[in-house]
Each structure stands twice: as structure tokens, then as C-alpha cells.
């Protein structure tokens, strides 16, 4: 991404940004007794405790203690739908490397390929013509042995998932019922009430063989999982407000190439209403601008990469979206000293003209090739003079922000065949 002079242009035109669509119910509709096509409630289901109600979302039927308590947030339904879809794609690719093929309900079987094979153009195109999830007949001489993993089954080679802030357990129950190829899910919440509810919901949905409730501080669960063998393949953090207190533990507790799924709902701070608070939480100053939602995404990505770098790790964004009042990012975390050396040159300060909104980026570092080696040095600048070249007004300084792509083009492409490209994936 290079700096732009056009005030109307987005930082990255591929970003979902402020224009992204959502299926969410309006904010004020937080009463679990309201119903949509995918969600009905029942007050008469057998086995309910007095005052309990059931909310249906996706494949889950979740018990909530009372129709009056705001335990269920329907506005985040899209967040949970999207997360099931992203983890499914992640499982498809990760488990292929472990000799496992996932069976996704409603999807035609296809040969699982490594991302690198697809990029090299070596995909077997015939593979996508199999009937829906029927066990495949192997051709004689087909040398590739694989095992299959279906939703709701525990898969020994499957992914280990942590939902750090699980509330009722709705999200984790949906993972158990909708994402194939999982070994186990730890649904954690420090509230005793929440942990008891998670356990009940696991039972009610018959997923206790995959889903365990835990009542701990989320940071402690993650710090204790830093050892290579204990790490989680997927960590989902969906807090009230900012996830910043949990990020240091999260970048350490996720496995090599593992997936972090992070929500931020502190949009006032991240979109420029309180730049100094944003700096204290994310190490980046937010500014009010037309591109504030994309800037918020780039701020959380900056913060994640910076914290990962402390441990010689770095991020690769898979998907970054701004929806309603929150943002959500999905990133892989990998380890590599040489890539981490490049971290500074992936971040940029941002000069924003207060008059016309034109902006310029100032990278924090510079990378140059020297024969077979790379050389890293301080960046040179600034890219602007004291006054805007278009309107003569002064500049504000924001950032640093993540100045690299915010999506993985492959996972968002038609070629990946991924479910969130389809018209009705959920
Ligand atoms: C927004 S809710 C989670 C919603 C849930 N992810 C979903 O999709 O339904 C946040 C939850 O985080 C829990 N929480 C807050 N701080 C925590 C901490 N340090 N450790 C564990 N849980 C925490 C709260 O009790 C609350 O239930
Ligand atoms: Zn200007």
C-alpha cells in the first residue's frame, strides 16, 4: 500500500470498511424473545429451569437464564456466522496437512489442496464434481490415504480451539455443531454463572464430548498454554470493548500458523474520538477521518504484529471486516526472526490533512535487497511539507498503522471456493 493524494480514496479499496453489509438485527433488538427466520425461542421446551428460555441461532439451541437478561446479543450473529465460516476454511487447509479431509454439510466434496499448490496452478479441477459429502470411492492406485472429519465428531488430529470470553457458550456450541475437524473446544469465562451456563448448553446440544466449560481468567488460560505442545490452533476473543489486555497472551498461546479471531467494540476510541486512549491500548494514535473504520482495522493489526514481534512472531491477516459498531480480524501467527526484522517497514505513520482529508503514509522502516540478503534501515521522510499540497491546511499525525494488505487474497477469492463467497453460505 502506497500513500495516496486523493482525499476520497480508501486506504485499501479491498477493505470491507464502513460500507460492509450485515445481516445483524438492529441494536435495540436485544430481547431474546424476538424472532427472525434463523432464531426462534421456546418457553415450553422440556428440561428448562424456571424462567429459562431457548434461543436458536445457526445449529445451536442455547439456554438463557431469563428473557429479561441481556445474555444474548443478536447483533453479533453475523460475527459468529462469519467465524464459523473462517474456521471451517482454516480447518480445511490445516487438516489437509495432517491427512484429514473435512466434510462440510451441504458442500460438494473437493480435493483439499495446499494454498501453495493452488497458487502454483496445480489444482485438480475435476475434484469439485463429487456428489454432496458422499464417502468418496478411491480410484484404484490412488495413493493418498486420508481420514474424514464431520461436524459434531471429535477428530483426534483436529484443531484445538479456545474461546477465551464465552458468556453463554453460544459461539463455542456453534463451532461444535457447524465446524468439522475439531479435537476440542475450551469455552472459558471468568464468571461462575457463565461457566455453569456453558456446561449446561454443551449438554443441551449434545456436544460435551468436544466442548469443555472453564472458569478462569482468559489471560491466565492463555499464558499457561504458551508451551509449544499446549498451544491452541484457534483462539477467539470477543470481549466487551477492547481486546488489548488479552493480546500479549494471545500471540504467545496460538500454535505455529494458528488462527486468532479478534473483535473490538471500542469503536469510539479506535475511530478517532480519543486518540490518546487509543495509543495507550494499541500503541497507535487514531484520528477522525473518512477512512476511520479501515484505520481501526489497521490499528488492531498493527498492535497484534507489534506484540507478536516481541516473541519473534508475526501476523498474516486472512480477513478484516468492519460491521455496524465493531470490527473483527482473523490473522495467522507465525514465527520467524528474519520476517520479524521486516516488521517496522510494514507499519506506517499517517499524515492526514485537516482541510481536504488527503493522506500520506510514512513507513517506520526500510527494507532493501543487497545481493542475496536484505538490509534494514531507518526510513527517510517526511512525505509531506508543513501544509497540504492541495488545500494549504495543516496535517495531523496518526498511527502507526498496519500498512500491508488486510485480507489474504486467496481466501477471499473464487478460487478458494470458500463458503463466505457463496450467495447463501450460512
Ligand atoms: C461479549 S461477552 C462474550 C460473548 C460471546 N463471545 C458470544 O459470542 O456469545 C464477554 C464475556 O467476557 C467475560 N470476561 C470478561 N473479562 C474476562 C476475563 N478476564 N477472563 C474471562 N472472561 C472474561 C464476561 O464475563 C462476558 O461473559
Ligand atoms: Zn488538504
Angle, in degrees to the nearest 10, between helices 77-96 and 170-178: 40
Protein residue closest via CA to atom 10 of ligand 1: 239
Protein residue closest via CA to atom 25 of ligand 1: 191
Protein residue closest via CA to atom 27 of ligand 1: 167
**pLDDT confidence of residue 30:** 32
What spatial distance separates the first Cα and last Cα of the chain, rounded to whole Å? 32
| Tens-place pLDDT, residues 40-82 | 455 556 678 888 889 999 999 999 887 555 578 888 999 999 9
CA of 400 to the centre of ligand 1 (A): 29
- Reported as half-sphere exposure (CB side, CA atoms, 13 A), residue 350 has a value of 33
Ligand nearest to the CA of 173: 1
DSSP per residue over 236-256, as a string?
A: EE--SS--HHHHHHHHHHEEE
- Reported as half-sphere exposure (CB side, CA atoms, 13 A), residue 127 has a value of 15
Ligand 1 atom closest to the Cα of residue 170 is 9
Residues with CB under 5 A from ligand 2 (ion): 353, 355-356, 358, 388, 390-391, 393
Cβ burial of 396 (10 Å; 0-12, 13-18, 19+) is middle
Protein residue closest via CA to atom 13 of ligand 1: 165
What are 396's three cell numbers?
Answer: 495531523
Say yes or no: CB of residue 76 within 6 Å of ligand 1: yes
CA of 294 to the centre of ligand 2 (A): 20
Dihedral of the alpha carbons of 343, 345, 347, 350, in degrees to the nearest 10: 170
CA of 240 to the centre of ligand 1 (A): 7
Cβ atoms of 333 and 231 closer than 8 Å: no
Cis previous bond, 210, omega within 30? no
Q: Which residue has the higher pLDDT, 234 or 144?
A: 234
Ligand nearest to the CA of 84: 1
What are 146's three cell numbers?
Answer: 486420508
Ligand 1 atom closest to the Cα of residue 218 is 20
Ligand 1 atom closest to the Cα of residue 79 is 8
Say yes or no: CB of residue 170 within 6 Å of ligand 1: yes
**pLDDT confidence of residue 415:** 56
Rounded CA-CA distance 199/175 in Å is 15
Q: Which residue, chain included where needed, has cell 418457553?
A: 43
Q: Which residue has the higher pLDDT, 95 or 118?
A: 95
Cβ atoms of 379 and 345 closer than 8 Å: yes
CA of 6 to the centre of ligand 1 (A): 41
**pLDDT confidence of residue 303:** 98
Q: Is residue 424 part of a domain?
A: no
Residue 423 neighbours by CB distance under 10 Å: 4
CA of 13 to the centre of ligand 2 (A): 21
Rounded CA-CA distance 360/399 in Å is 11
Q: Is 370 helix (H, G, I), strand (E, B) or coil?
A: strand
Q: Is residue 183 part of a domain?
A: no
Q: Is residue 390 part of a domain?
A: yes
Average pLDDT of the chain is 83
CA of 7 to the centre of ligand 2 (A): 8
**pLDDT confidence of residue 46:** 66
Distance (Å) of CA 373 to CA 338, 344, 376, 379: 10, 17, 10, 18
| pLDDT over 70, % of the chain | 77
Q: Is residue 389 part of a domain?
A: yes
Rounded CA-CA distance 380/313 in Å is 26
Say yes or no: CB of residue 77 within 6 Å of ligand 1: no
Classify residue 328 as left (phi > 0), alpha (psi -120 to 50) or beta. beta
Rounded CA-CA distance 137/118 in Å is 24
Q: Which residue, chain included where needed, has cell 510514512?
A: 362
> In 254-387, where does DSSP find H-type helix?
267-268, 275-282, 292-309, 337-340
Q: Is the pLDDT of residue 111 over 70?
A: no
Protein residue closest via CA to atom 8 of ligand 1: 171
Q: Is the pLDDT of residue 292 over 90?
A: yes
| pLDDT over 90, % of the chain | 69
Ligand nearest to the CA of 389: 2
Rounded CA-CA distance 25/200 in Å is 26
Say yes or no: CB of residue 218 within 6 Å of ligand 1: yes
| Phi, then psi, of 155 in degrees rounded to 5 | -110, 115
Residue 36 neighbours by CB distance under 10 Å: 13
**pLDDT confidence of residue 68:** 55
Rounded CA-CA distance 74/261 in Å is 19
Output the CA torsion sign for 322, 328, 332, 337.
positive
Say yes or no: CB of residue 236 within 6 Å of ligand 1: no
Q: Which of 401, 226, 373 is nearest to 305 (CA)?
A: 401
Q: How many domains does the chain have?
A: 1
Q: Is residue 356 part of a domain?
A: yes
Tell me which of 174-178, 226-230, 371-375 is least confident. 371-375
Cβ atoms of 298 and 275 closer than 8 Å: no
**pLDDT confidence of residue 44:** 56
Q: Which parts of 126-238 are beta strand (E)? A: 147-150, 154-163, 182-188, 211-214, 232-237
Rounded CA-CA distance 262/307 in Å is 14
- What number of residues does the chain have? 426
Ligand nearest to the CA of 6: 2
Boundaries of domain holding 385: 344-395
Ligand 1, pocket-test mutation among 60, 194, 240, most atoms within 8 A of CB: 240
Rounded CA-CA distance 286/295 in Å is 7
Ligand 1 atom closest to the Cα of residue 236 is 6
Q: Which of 264, 217, 213, 216 is nearest to 238 (CA)?
A: 264
Q: Which residues are CB-neighbours of 367 under 8 A, at least 6 positions away?
A: 342, 345, 374, 375, 376
Q: Which of 115, 118, 112, 210 is nearest to 162 (CA)?
A: 210
Q: Which residues are CB-neighbours of 139 under 8 A, at least 6 positions away?
A: none
Q: Which residue has the higher pLDDT, 14 or 273?
A: 273
**pLDDT confidence of residue 372:** 85
Q: Is the pLDDT of residue 143 over 90?
A: no
Amino acid at each position: 500500500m502506497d500513500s495516496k493524494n486523493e482525499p476520497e480514496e480508501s486506504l485499501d479499496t479491498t477493505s470491507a470498511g464502513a460500507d460492509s453489509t450485515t445481516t445483524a438485527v438492529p441494536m435495540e433488538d436485544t430481547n431474546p424473545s424476538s424472532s427472525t427466520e434463523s432464531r426462534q425461542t421456546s418457553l415450553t421446551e422440556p428440561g428448562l429451569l424456571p424462567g429459562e428460555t431457548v434461543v436458536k441461532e445457526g445449529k445451536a439451541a442455547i439456554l438463557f437464564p431469563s428473557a429479561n437478561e441481556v445474555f444474548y446479543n443478536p447483533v453479533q450473529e453475523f460475527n459468529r456466522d462469519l467465524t464459523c465460516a473462517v474456521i471451517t476454511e482454516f480447518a480445511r487447509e490445516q487438516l489437509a496437512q495432517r491427512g484429514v479431509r473435512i466434510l462440510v454439510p451441504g458442500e460438494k466434496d473437493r480435493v483439499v489442496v495446499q494454498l501453495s499448490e493452488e497458487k502454483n496452478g496445480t489444482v485438480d479441477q475435476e475434484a469439485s464434481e463429487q456428489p454432496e459429502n458422499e464417502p468418496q470411492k478411491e480410484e484404484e492406485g490412488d495413493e493418498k490415504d486420508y481420514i474424514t472429519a464431520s461436524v459434531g465428531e471429535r477428530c483426534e488430529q483436529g484443531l484445538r480451539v479456545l474461546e477465551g470470553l464465552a458468556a453463554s457458550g453460544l459461539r463455542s456450541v456453534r463451532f461444535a455443531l457447524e465446524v468439522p475437524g475439531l479435537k476440542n473446544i475450551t469455552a472459558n469465562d471468568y464468571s461462575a454463572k457463565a461457566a455453569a451456563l456453558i456446561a449446561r448448553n454443551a449438554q443441551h446440544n449434545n456436544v460435551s464430548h468436544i466442548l469443555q466449560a472453564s472458569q478462569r481468567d482468559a489471560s491466565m488460560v492463555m499464558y499457561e498454554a504458551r508451551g509449544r505442545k499446549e498451544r491452541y490452533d484457534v483462539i477467539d476473543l470477543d470481549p466487551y470493548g477492547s481486546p488489548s489486555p488479552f493480546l500479549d497472551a494471545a500471540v504467545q498461546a496460538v500454535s505455529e500458523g494458528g488462527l486468532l479471531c479478534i473483535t473490538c467494540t471500542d469503536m469510539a476510541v479506535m475511530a478517532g474520538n480519543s486518540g490518546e486512549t487509543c495509543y495507550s491500548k494499541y500503541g497507535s494514535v487514531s484520528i477522525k477521518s473518512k477512512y476511520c473504520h479501515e484505520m481501526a482495522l489497521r490499528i488492531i493489526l498493527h498492535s497484534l504484529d507489534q506484540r507478536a514481534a516481541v516473541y519473534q512472531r508475526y501476523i498474516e491477516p486472512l480477513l478484516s471486516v468492519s460491521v455496524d459498531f465493531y470490527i473483527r480480524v482473523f490473522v495467522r501467527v507465525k514465527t520467524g526472526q528474519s520476517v520479524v526484522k521486516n516488521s517496522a517497514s510494514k507499519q506506517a505513520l499517517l499524515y492526514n490533512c485537516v482541510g481536504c482529508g488527503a493522506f500520506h503514509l510514512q513507513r517506520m522502516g526500510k527494507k532493501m535487497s543487497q545481493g542475496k540478503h536484505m538490509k534494514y534501515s531507518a526510513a527517510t521522510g517526511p512525505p509531506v511539507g508543513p501544509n497540504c499540497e492541495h488545500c494549504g491546511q495543516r496535517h495531523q499525525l496518526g498511527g502507526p498503522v498496519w500498512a500491508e494488505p488486510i485480507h489474504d487474497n486467496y481466501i477471499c477469492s473464487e478460487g478458494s471456493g470458500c463458503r463466505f463467497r457463496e450467495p447463501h453460505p450460512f
